Amino acid sequence: MAMNFDDNEELVNKQVDMNAYSHNLLKEKYPTKQDVITEIMNLEAILHLPKGTEHFVSDLHGEYTAFDHVLRNGSGSIKQKIQDYFSDRMTEQTMQDFALLIYYPEDELALVKKKLRTENELQQWYLDNISHLLEFLELSGSKYTRSKVRKALNPNFVYITEELLYNDPQEFNKRSYINQLLKNILKLDQADKFIIATCYTIQRLVVDHLHVLGDVYDRGEEPDKIMDRLMNYHSVDMQWGNHDLLWLGAMAGSKLCMLNLLRICARYNNLNIIEDAYGINLRHLSRFAEEQYEDNPQFRPKLTNGDGYRFNGEKLQITQIHQAVAMMQFKLEGQVIARRPELEMDDRDLLNKIDYKKNVISLNGKEYPLQNTCFNTVDPKNPSELTDEENAIVDELLISIQHSTKLKRHLDFMMNKGSMYRTYNGNLLFHGCIPADEEGNFCSLKIGSKEYSGKKLFDFSEKMIRKAYSKPNVKDDFATDFMWYLWQGALSPLFGKKSMTTFERYFIADKACHEEVKNPYYKLRENKDFCIKILQEFGFAGDDTNHIINGHTPVKRGHNAICAEGYMLVIDGGYSKAYQPTTGIAGYTLLYNSYGLQLVSHQPFTSKQDAIRSGKDIVSTVRVVKHELQRKSVADTDIGENIKEKIRVLYNLLRNYD
């Protein structure tokens, strides 16, 4: 039986060392010489197919509806293909309606049935659109083998679709046969199901592989739905973001990561993610917060447009919970800083820098008065110590999080598909930064007798993450504490700032203390030579065929997402509604197809209902980053290199049959 090399993700993520196969094992797979020849012919032909489209997204921050829409429209690639293929046969409105049918087939079908007055009109609409969908399906699948297209088809309609797809309805001998198939689809009430199945197949074929460059979690209210969507996506990889690390850290047993994510959920009025989506009980925490804390304007939830409260008193309840988890967080920060001096974070042990009688804090040799304080559970003699009830609450919450079946399933998937960075088809993908000094030298983090910088820092970080996650019941170990460091450490490749001024923003009025100084990396990435240095650090030649694709920092209004003459592409444009006032848009995405790289910016997305009613997409502009002079084929990709190696081994096997 011949091996099937149509599944791209399997080739990339489960690469097989063919040299490890003995000739006997290969002969079991290819028992005859003809089997080997057939497979070589198959693989060498695949190398000449066009490169599949890669889709890059980043910093989704729980904004499921916008993310889902971008997946459905392939960052505008479906609409562009429709315009290229049907513009001489369809009006602008018809093309828009056809695009929305492909994006949201169930909704569009319901709308069409309301609009069309007679059965004859509806029947004609079905025939026209089935015909157009089949044409578009053939176009979308033209860069793949038939077997790969077959895998993408709904199993209930494989036979019918292939017969309609690969037979010319104008051919005299088949005309009656094809017409009868179409009539039966309508007569047997299968038209809706067939259209829906075909639309989802088109969505799947338009994008071959999805890259998620971090931060699925925090701020937005539906990260669980994003994770469900990703788990059902046909081919995906992930690079972890700093916000994702909080959730992974909590599952790994970090109480400090857990308290940070709870604080952020409270800050953005998203505690329903914890309670409703993941079934984690917050009643003990809520009762404690109600007893210990009053209303405090600095801890009231931040609301975005359209946001609100579910019941009377919820605003006060969240404000109290917000204070409770923040104070427990600051206490535990002091504990981790004390037991991990090698992380050099003494300057962030802030509760120990307070004069509780004078209500001032000493920072960098200067005293600042404190406001909106909520220190009633803090022991001035031992500020980092949790009370007995706080200890019980933290332990209970951690157990609840680690026993959430749904959350565990999501985070296991994130661990399995995720990494600190990824090299893929000549591009380097990561979420945060390469910590560097002003001169462009990579900064070193010293742990014990070893120093880690550049790629080694990323590799060490990933090793610690995987170690901590694999042993979630180990308490206060270095790997688990390091996951918190990755959230806010000065040399964390996921953070990229000198310090996180959460405490200062809560309690100090002087806004100069709120500033978070970025690592020089964020200026240096405008420099072509620095970007080439990074690419070479990760094993690339660093020529103009290589690019760094980076998330993490929203591209502010007036700034450029294309840096260093195209060597650096920044694709966090502001999915999160909290960022959109400064970005002016709702996110960047990136497409990399056989013709080159395209950067796509998106308008704010309200709802799919608005998209359908208004007939508007959310693609704002498409900007060509690089156009390939010669169209790329599978042979030019990482998958192609893997296939070439398999072909080499098969030729060796073929000689043994002579």
Per-residue CA distances from 439 to 266, 359, 443, 534 (Å): 40, 40, 10, 14
Find the mean pLDDT for residues 99-108. Answer: 95
Find the mean pLDDT for residues 88-95. Answer: 92
Tokens of 93: 């409105």
Q: Answer yes or no: do 658 and 537 share one domain.
A: no
Other CB atoms within a 10 A radius of the CB of residue 446 amount to: 13
Q: Answer yes or no: do 58 and 37 share one domain.
A: no
* Helix 388-402, helix 242-251: angle, nearest 10: 100
141 lies in some domain: no
257 lies in some domain: yes
61 lies in some domain: yes
Q: Answer yes or no: do 538 and 629 share one domain.
A: yes
Q: Answer yes or no: do 468 and 537 share one domain.
A: no
606 lies in some domain: yes
**Confidence tier at 507 by pLDDT (50, 70, 90):** very high
Is pLDDT at 19 greater than 60 in this prediction? no
- From 512, 529, 562, give the residue that closes a domain: 512
Query: What residues have CB less than 8 Å from 100, skipping those under 6 apart?
Result: 107, 108, 611, 612, 615
Q: Any idea what DSSP says for residue 518?
A: B
Element (H, E) at 459: helix 454-470
DSSP 88-131: TTS-HHHHHHHHHHHH-HHHHHHHHHHH--SHHHHHHHHHHHHH
Query: What residues have CB less than 8 Å from 469, skipping those under 6 apart?
Result: 248, 251, 252, 415
Q: Answer yes or no: do 621 and 655 share one domain.
A: no
Q: Answer yes or no: do 366 and 402 share one domain.
A: yes
Find the mean pLDDT for residues 512-540. Answer: 96
Is pLDDT at 609 greater than 90 in this prediction? no
Q: Which residue has the higher pLDDT, 602 or 430?
A: 430
Find the mean pLDDT for residues 504-522. Answer: 96
pLDDT, tens digit (0-9, with 9 covering 90-100), for 177-224: 888 999 999 999 999 999 999 999 999 999 999 999 999 999 888 999
pLDDT, tens digit (0-9, with 9 covering 90-100), for 445-492: 999 999 999 999 999 999 999 999 999 988 889 999 999 999 999 999
**Confidence tier at 1 by pLDDT (50, 70, 90):** very low
Range of the domain at 264: 242-512
Nearest to 302 by CA among 581, 633, 648: 581
Other CB atoms within a 10 A radius of the CB of residue 31 amount to: 11
- What is the spatial distance between Cα 105 and Cα 324, in angstroms, rounded to a whole number? 46
406 lies in some domain: yes
463 lies in some domain: yes
| Model pTM score | 0.93
Q: Answer yes or no: do 270 and 353 share one domain.
A: yes
**Confidence tier at 2 by pLDDT (50, 70, 90):** very low
Per-residue CA distances from 170 to 96, 130, 176 (Å): 28, 16, 9
**Confidence tier at 579 by pLDDT (50, 70, 90):** low
Is pLDDT at 227 greater than 60 in this prediction? yes
339 lies in some domain: yes
Query: What residues have CB less than 8 Å from 86, skipping those under 6 apart?
Result: 94, 95, 98, 132
Structure confidence at residue 625 (pLDDT): 78
Q: Answer yes or no: do 216 and 282 share one domain.
A: no
Structure confidence at residue 12 (pLDDT): 44
Is pLDDT at 267 greater than 50 in this prediction? yes
Find the mean pLDDT for residues 612-640. Answer: 79
**Confidence tier at 167 by pLDDT (50, 70, 90):** confident
Per-residue CA distances from 563 to 407, 497, 512, 548 (Å): 37, 20, 29, 10
Nearest to 325 by CA among 380, 372, 370, 261: 261
Is pLDDT at 4 greater than 60 in this prediction? no
Contact 524, 437 (CB under 8 A): no
Contact 325, 263 (CB under 8 A): yes
Q: Answer yes or no: do 327 and 339 share one domain.
A: yes
pLDDT mean across residues, the chain = 90
pLDDT, tens digit (0-9, with 9 covering 90-100), for 301-341: 998 766 778 888 999 999 999 999 999 999 999 999 999 99
Contact 449, 460 (CB under 8 A): no
Q: Any idea what DSSP says for residue 345?
A: -
Q: Answer yes or no: do 503 and 529 share one domain.
A: no
How many independent structural domains does the chain possess?
3
Q: Answer yes or no: do 325 and 458 share one domain.
A: yes
Beta strands 54-57; 588-593: pairing state: antiparallel
- What is the spatial distance between Cα 289 and Cα 283, in angstroms, rounded to a whole number? 10
Q: Answer yes or no: do 315 and 226 share one domain.
A: no
Q: What percent of the chain clears pLDDT 70, i.e. is strictly above it?
A: 91
**Confidence tier at 615 by pLDDT (50, 70, 90):** low
173-177, 503-507, 537-541, 583-587: which range is least confident on average? Answer: 583-587
235-249, 262-276, 407-421, 601-615: which range is least confident on average? Answer: 601-615
pLDDT, tens digit (0-9, with 9 covering 90-100), for 137-162: 999 999 999 999 999 999 999 999 99
Is pLDDT at 3 greater than 60 in this prediction? no
563 lies in some domain: yes
Find the mean pLDDT for residues 268-297. Answer: 96
**Confidence tier at 610 by pLDDT (50, 70, 90):** confident
